[in-house]
Amino acid sequence: MAKLAFIQSLAYEYLGTMYLSSSIQKNGHLAEAFIEDGSRIEKLARELAGYNPDIIGFYCATGMHRWVLNTAGFFKKRLPDIKIILGGPHPTFFPEIIREWPVDIICRGEGESALQELLDRIERNEDYADIENLWVKKNGNIFKNDVRPLVEDLDSIPFPDRQLYIRRYPFLNKSQKVFVTGRGCPFSCAFCFNAPLKDLYKEKGRYVRLRSAENLIKEIKEAQHSYRLRVVYLQDDTFALDKNWALGFLGRYRQDIGLPFICLLRADLIDEELIFALKQAGCKNVFFGVETGSVRLRKFLLKKEITDEQIYRSARLLKKYRIKFRTYNMFGLPDETLDDAFRTVELNIKIKTDYPWSSLLQPFPGTELGDYAREQDLLEGDKLCFETSFFKKSSIKLKNKAEIENLHKIFFFAVKFPLLFPLLKLIIRKKIVLPYNLLFLSGYLFSFKESEGLTWIETIKIGISNLRNFFLDSAA
């Protein structure tokens, strides 16, 4: 039996981490999750020493990679015999991070089978330098292995380990639980990792895969039986990629589960038949991306082929069937003007967004948009020096950067109280000091609570636990 410790900075249940935990437990190994919130790292080091893991794992995204390397180095000094493995988007697209001192192994792409095989070999004290999906640093050499074929049958993957986090952090036992219907996205938006990930897995199997409705219903039933489940969150990037599959699942869900649920859609895939089926099955909230009110930026920069009319039609249908919706919006886009940013607010006002949500673009390297920003010399600082949060400040050189950042912070209030918008436009231009961080936090937490079906107690606990990561270091 081998032991794995997952370490992360966010007080959040990562579904991917829970899938990894259940996969390795299938072979008799153990996993525990530890949250490093910035105030208890020495205590956490003692807890880790008591757990005595064979390997420490970090989920690593670009921007987060600096915290990961610092934290991994801290534990490597105190527990030098323990191996450090990084997984997630940053090591997947920037595998050279393995050259950093504290890192022993990286995992690229889907990790269940690779991690399972790694722990099996560690338990048997066997060499693991040739495991597919892994790059391994050993005696000064780096062994670079190709990714294995994608898992074709998603029903074969064990259900996620939902006890992983709440064993140590019971406040994360929310009444809303997250599920996915499949893996992979067929679209290639310029700001997203999907296009380079599809390239990585070229000729490695079908990229977009769906679970069977029966398998997903079974998982939800188990969670319904084991937890105080009130709201189901179908967290796929886009629910209903296969409309026939979605309609069949919704019929089963209505009959067998009957709980309120949330899902994410694309405006160009929404029609009345789908929205009617969602309403009949108990859908309470839908999330979809507007991204920007500028058609020019949305279509030609972000490569998201969605029109204003498709957004308006989607909003009208959701209003007709009384399904509330949250819109995703971005500020700080390359070449964005202040008028472009105002159009984003105006579009959300026009469609009467129930839960306005915005972030500041992080043009991640390796994406088409990140490459464009670098080629055009639009990045502030080093090409990989991103904020740990996309709520803090923009990485893009912009003419009206301060005004756009401030507009992002008060976006919720500008949309929900449109009579204030003309005044807010003047305030951000005149640089009148407002408590921007406090306003942002208030709007964010309200949208988070209401759109995700959480109680105020759950929301406040999660907000307090993540203040360092999201808000405290934000630029005013």
Express each pLDDT in 112-168 by its tens digit. Answer: 999 999 999 999 999 999 999 999 999 989 999 999 999 999 999 999 999 999 999
| Percent helix, strand and coil across the chain, each to the nearest 5 | 45, 15, 40
Q: Angle 138-140-141 (CA atoms, 0-180°, nearest 5)?
A: 65
User: So what's the pLDDT on residue 412?
Assistant: 97
Query: 379 lies in a domain?
Result: yes
Tell me what the pLDDT averaged over the chain comes to.
92
Query: 164 lies in a domain?
Result: no
Q: Are residues 273 and 321 in the same domain?
A: yes
Closest CA to 89 of 355, 367, 419: 367
Q: Are residues 139 and 232 in the same domain?
A: no
Query: 44 lies in a domain?
Result: yes
Q: Are residues 429 and 355 in the same domain?
A: yes
Closest CA to 92 of 9, 204, 199: 199
Query: 65 lies in a domain?
Result: yes
Q: Are residues 253 and 108 in the same domain?
A: no
Q: Are residues 57 and 14 in the same domain?
A: yes
Query: 475 lies in a domain?
Result: no
Q: Are residues 397 and 333 in the same domain?
A: yes
Mean pLDDT of 414-432: 92
- CATH number of 341's domain: 3.80.30.20
Give the pLDDT band of residue 476 (cuts 50, 70, 90).
Answer: very low
330: left (phi over 0), alpha (psi -120 to 50) or beta: beta
Query: 83 lies in a domain?
Result: yes
Closest CA to 132 of 119, 156, 120, 115: 115
Coil/strand/helix, residue 355: strand
Q: Are residues 242 and 95 in the same domain?
A: no
The strand pair at 134-138 and 141-144 is best described as antiparallel
The residue segments making up the domain with residue 314 are: 174-470
Q: What is the pLDDT of residues 279-323, one digit of tens each?
A: 999 999 999 999 999 999 999 999 999 999 999 999 999 999 999
Q: What does the DSSP assignment read for 88-114?
A: SHHHHH-GGGGGSTT--EEE-S--HHH
Q: Which amino acid is at 227?
A: Y
Domain end call among 90, 122, 144? 144
Closest CA to 181 of 233, 229, 230: 233
CA distance 400 to 27: 55
Number of domains comprising the chain: 2
Q: Are residues 245 and 372 in the same domain?
A: yes
User: So what's the pLDDT on residue 468?
Assistant: 58
Mean pLDDT of 200-212: 96
Mean pLDDT of 67-85: 93
Give the pLDDT band of residue 189 (cuts 50, 70, 90).
Answer: very high
Q: What is the CA radius of gyration of the chain?
A: 22
Query: 306 lies in a domain?
Result: yes
Q: Does residue 75 carry a pLDDT above 50? A: yes
CA distance 365 to 190: 11
- CATH number of 108's domain: 3.40.50.280
Give the pLDDT band of residue 467 (cuts 50, 70, 90).
Answer: low
Backbone angles phi, psi at 129, to 5 degrees: -70, -15
Q: Are residues 389 and 254 in the same domain?
A: yes
Coil/strand/helix, residue 83: strand
Q: Does residue 464 carry a pLDDT above 50? A: yes
Q: Are residues 106 and 188 in the same domain?
A: no
Mean pLDDT of 338-342: 98
Q: What is the pLDDT of residues 36-47, one digit of tens each?
A: 877 678 889 889
Query: 253 lies in a domain?
Result: yes
User: So what's the pLDDT on residue 201?
Assistant: 97
Q: Does residue 366 carry a pLDDT above 90? A: no
Give the pLDDT band of residue 387 (cuts 50, 70, 90).
Answer: low
Q: Are residues 222 and 114 in the same domain?
A: no
The dihedral sign for the CA sequence 415, 418, 422, 428: negative
